[in-house]
Structure 1
Amino acid sequence: MDEEVRMTASTLSRFEVTDVSPRIGCTIEADKETLLSGAKVQEIREILERRGVIVFPEINLSDEEQIAFTHTLGIFAHEEGEGNGDKDVVYPITMDETINPIASYLKGAFFWHLDGTMSDKPILASIMSAHALASEGGETEFCNTYAAWDDLPDGEKADLEKLKVVHSVWRSQLYWKPEPSYAEIKQWQGRGSNTLPLVWKHRSGRQSLVLGATAQQIEGLSFAESEALLVRLRDWATQPQFVYRHEWKLGDMVIWDNTGTMHRAMPYAMDSGRLMHRTKLEGEEAFA
């Protein structure tokens, strides 16, 4: 590359970061070449941990480009039950069962959750691109569970740090279908359960709350006491100062730190045609 071409390429590259609220979220205005080159990987990962959510407005990556971009950030996650085996593919987030045969399972996404509570090491992050939008609704909300922990009264933190919570898939599915058939509940329960700390002490030294729709019961508390505390902490963590709501435009790509945020989809018509393409990064740190 001669000097003139090099200068032109440098001039055309974009990477402009803007915070969207004081406690969570930012936008990065970038060009495809800059993202796919991997030149900004360390900066993106640092911003992701610090801000929780990154929006790349109308970047319009193809599936192949999204997969390639995911590889620049870490190890591509191949998750059990998503039907892709060891092949790198995007996963369709849709309520259209002709596109995703297990679309009904995704209805749990309308409630606050983090992904991977059935694993000891949850995914690091999700990357999602908008390919078709609902005419109304379908925004995605994110809350910063680091900031929520930081702002709790110091006198309460010591007690919360001692608690462990049983998480299960069937608990989250009951949010959208509170009266399942016996066959359905047995199928959901077949996914098992996992006991996790209520407060995640990250290797960075930071701490975050581990909550969400899979949280079934706090060990050592009655069901009523457990439910009251989990709801109170969820309400605390999802206060407006900790939340960013993303209003999607076609071509938007959003990355969120699954280890330090919860998220949920806002309601939209099941026949709206809304379609997101998602990839994920393998987890790098176990719950602790």
Structure 2
Amino acid sequence: MTSFNTTRRSTTAALAALGLGAALTVFAPFAAAQSVADIKKKGEITIGMLVDFPPYGTTNAKNEPDGYDADVAKLLAKEWGVKANIVPVTGPNRIPFLLTNKVDLLVASLAVTPERAKQVSFSTPYAAATIVLYGKTSANIKSAADLKGQRIGVARASTQDVAVTKAAPEGTEIRRFDDDASAMQALMSGQVDAIGCSLTVAAQIAKRVPANTFENKFNLVQQAMGIAMRPGQDELTKAVNDFVAKNTANGELNKLYQKWLGADLPKLN
């Protein structure tokens, strides 16, 4: 098991990489690596989840977390025989919530990237999202080169933020918002010409505006998403990987994906 001091040093480094070193003075110190046995003894698992990224994360009529991620979180808790305590997080704060011990793990539509893999321990993928550049039908945008001079909105610290920032040429005006809902509103109100978003977010926008107002301009990236744990939690990571493998093989994750996205779970590496 990773020692407290070693784990705390790795967490401090991860927070520093996020520009959040000061967070350690605000939140409780990082605890020693947590196991499934610890969670079962506690009788509940606290899971961070986005609630502004439908259909992966949303809220129901009772204002309770819902969506694909919520169902996956509940399935995990059920298999381990504990209560699921789902905590809403945002794109920018989800990794800090994990690293400062506010949640046990994240089922929060977190795309697996090399940069994030330096900060958290990822499970094998349990979902995927296609990220597109979605904008005004009248806007002459056919490729990344056409973004110069355009106002492009993204949810801050999201996969689409990373993808747009990487693709956009000099002269692109990238406007960052707190979440997807704010970026959506900016597009619909004319504050930006296009946004980077998932296909599911684009579909939500299309339902709210007249036909042919917006369109998919081009694909930015398809990202596999993983369940995230703190660094050094090898036993917990293995248990989560076993959960993903089992429920991929038996079709349970595919059933949930069909329920929320109307498509089969993509084959993920």
TM, length-normalised to structure 1: 0.30
Greater RCO structure (CA 8 Å; 6+ sep): 1
Task: Determine which structure has the larger helix proportion and give its number.
Answer: 2
